[in-house]
Structure formats: structure tokens, C-alpha cells
Amino acid sequence: MEDTYRHKGMRRRLVEGLRKRGIRDEKVLEAIGTLPRHFFLDKAFEDHAYQDKAFPIGNDQTISQPYTVAYMTELLEVEKRHKTLEVGTGSGYQACILAQLGARVYSIERQKDLYDRAKTLLPSMGYPQIRLFYRDGYKGLPEYAPFDRIIVTAGAPYIPEALREQLAIGGIMVIPVGEYDQTMVRVRRIAENLFEEEPLGPFRFVPFVEGLNE
């Protein structure tokens, strides 16, 4: 895998485009400007890797468009050492962006092929610290809870109760909610039994499905 001057130039243009679209968090922009997105895509998409588009990664899943990754990450307000749960590893790109920001990342994937691919790819790229789990995302990771941050990268028909329970008091969860089209929702846990939900813009994600797919 090579990261050439050409790739770096395309990333700079991508970051400028994200800035123009309203992404303000310079740490998020720096992470996107640093991480080679083409490493996460099939060779056939390499020349298009830095377009602001989603691309297929197999198993009827996609790598989210960079704007969506940047927008969700900005909403998450990640700080160094934040214990962060990602539901939906997919290509592993979002997990690596979080790790670039200094988060301690725990990531769940229900598609065995994608999980196996990420288990090989992420350590080879210098991210052995990202902990990957082949699990049902609706159940979260109760044995590692609570989490300072939770990010869900698929469209959920509702906010799973298990994920609410695993959010630390003072923590933030970002999740797209809706059956067909989703509304991005930022959830803050104010107290043990008090949550604040902030509905934001419209998005469209692949569905958040229960269970495992071998």
C-alpha cells in the first residue's frame, strides 16, 4: 500500500471541501487529512477515494462519505483517552479517525467478512490498539461499559436501550435514527435516568441490523 504525493494532494482538496461544507473542528479535519482513505477501498476505487462519496465495501455495506464521517465525529466531541464504542466497524475508516483523535476505540462488526478484513488491515496500518469485536451491535459491549462516547454508523429504527445504558453519565452518543431515511441524533446522558436528545440533519445509512452474519 502506497500513500503518494498525489494521494496527499487529493486529501488536502477533500479537507478544503469539508471546510467549505461547514466542518469546523480542525482536529477532525487534520485526522481526515492524515488518514489514507484509499487503503480502505478496493483498488478499483483508488482514483475516486477522495471524492466526497460513499463506496461499496462488500456485504451490502459502504464506507461512509467523508462529510458524514467528519460531521458525526465533530458532533461526538472526542477528546484524548475517551473510551469510545463504535457500532459498525465496516471498512475500519471511522475507527481509525477516532484513534487519530486519541480515543480508546472499541468497535463492533456483525459481518464476519468485514470483521476479518479489519482485523488484518488495522494493525498493518499502525492501529493495533483498536479493539475489534465480532458481535451484535444492538447489545453493545456491556463488559467494557461505561463508554464516554458511542457512535453508531448504521441507520437504527430506534435507539437501542443497551447502548443508552452503556453510555457514561456526561457521555455523548451519535446515532442516525429512522427506518428508511434517518435523522442524526446526538444523545447526552445528563444523569442516571436523564437523557437529552438533540435531532439534527437528515442522512441515509445502510440499516442497523440485529444478530450476526457469518
Gap between the Cα atoms of 83 and 131, Å rounded: 11
pTM of the model: 0.95
**Average per-residue pLDDT for the chain:** 95
Gap between the Cα atoms of 5 and 36, Å rounded: 11
Gap between the Cα atoms of 49 and 32, Å rounded: 12
Confidence grade of residue 58 (pLDDT, cut at 50, 70, 90): confident
Of 83-92, 171-180, 200-209, the poorest mean pLDDT is in 200-209
Gap between the Cα atoms of 49 and 115, Å rounded: 21
Gap between the Cα atoms of 85 and 186, Å rounded: 15
Confidence grade of residue 46 (pLDDT, cut at 50, 70, 90): confident
**Residues belonging to the active site:** 64
Beta carbons of 33 and 10 less than 8 angstroms apart: no
- The predicted model gives 30-41 an average pLDDT of 96
Gap between the Cα atoms of 50 and 11, Å rounded: 6
Per-residue pLDDT, 47: 84
